[in-house]
Amino acid sequence: MSTKILQINQVSKHFVLGTSEIPVLKDVSFEIEEGSTVSIVGPSGSGKTTLLGLCAGLDQPSEGTITLNGIQLTGLNEDQLAAVRNEHVGFVFQNFQLLPTLTALENVLVPLELRGLKPNERDALALLQRVGLGHRADHYPSQLSGGEQQRVSIARAFANKPKILFADEPTGNLDAETSQSIEEMLFELNRESGTTLIIVTHDLDLAAKTQQIIPIKGGKIA
């Protein structure tokens, strides 16, 4: 039996800037199977990051509904959304969003602390080692390169063993070899833990490795 982990139904999103409305997404609908791998592709500015944020419960759509793991996100308040995210969702941000006052290791521990779980430093260190950063565990984000910060944010997204992982250009700042090993980690998580993987990427070779490709153009499914 197939289960839908994500259902996006006629979602539109506009932002209000002063007196003008900026339409970003228009009538987007799709469904994602639990345990599958999906890529979202499209030109810069087409609405990919906005769409990912809505799917992950980081923001609310202007119209339409989003159901994540059977939970209707539309209508939930901030605290309820945060609880759903902490329990089910991992997110790798395009701009990393590490907490500047915490070390790499402490950043990886944040999702566990948010869930009220006992922080396990050994597991967090193992995750950092997997992304090749065991030797940088005590560094602050400002002491890390862009690619290193990206890898910390990937380790952090894995920390709460999410049911669904959203990754916005997870290999965008990395060299070919490091990209390859990060890709392998992502697909391994999918195979071994059944984590649903949703990746925004400009890399068509990476997109071709996913089971479903969602092309976005001008805020619509192309």
Structure tokens at 135: 């030797």
Contact 221, 28 (CB under 8 A): yes
| Of 35 and 61, CB closest to Mg ion | 61
Nearer to ligand ATP, 34 or 59 (CB): 59
In the complex, minimum distance from the CB of residue 40 to ligand ATP, in angstroms, rounded to a whole number: 9
Minimum distance of ligand ATP from residue 53's CB (angstroms):
8
DSSP calls for 93-161: -TT----TTS-HHHHHHHHHHHTTPPP-HHHHHHHHHHTT-GGGTT--GGGS-HHHHHHHHHHHHHTT-
Shortest distance (Å) from residue 97 CB to ligand ATP: 14
Instruction: Tell me how crowded residue 117 is: count the other CB atoms within 10 A of its CB.
Output: 13
**Is the distance from CB of 161 to CB of 128 less than 8 angstroms?**
no
**Binding test (CB under 6 A) with ligand ATP, winner from 36, 37, 39, 46:** 46
Residue 49 or 195: the one with the smaller Cβ distance to Mg ion is 49
Spatial separation of the C-alpha atoms in residues 141 and 101, rounded to whole Å? 8
* The only residue of 1, 2, 3, 17 in contact with ligand ATP, by rule CB under 6 A: 17
Q: Is 49 in the site for Mg ion (CB under 5 A)?
A: yes
**Rule CB under 6 A: is residue 22 a binding residue for ligand ATP?**
yes
- 5 phi and psi angles, rounded to 5 deg: -90, -25
- Judged by CB under 6 A, which of 47, 57, 61, 141 binds ligand ATP? 47
Which of 29, 45, 115, 180 touches ligand ATP by CB under 6 A? Answer: 45
Residue 47 binds which entry of Mg ion, ligand ATP, none, CB below 5-8 Å type-dependent: ligand ATP
Interaction between residue 107 and Mg ion (CB under 5 A)? no
Burial letters for 190-214: b for 16+ Cβ neighbours within 10 Å, e otherwise? Answer: beeeebbbbbbbebeebbeebeeeb
Residues 83-102 that bind Mg ion (CB under 5 A): 94
84 alpha-carbon distance from chain centroid: 14
Min CB(94)–Mg ion separation in Å:
5
Residues in contact with Mg ion by CB under 5 A are 49, 94
Q: Footprint of ligand ATP on this chain (CB under 6 A)?
A: 15, 17, 22, 24, 42, 44-50, 94
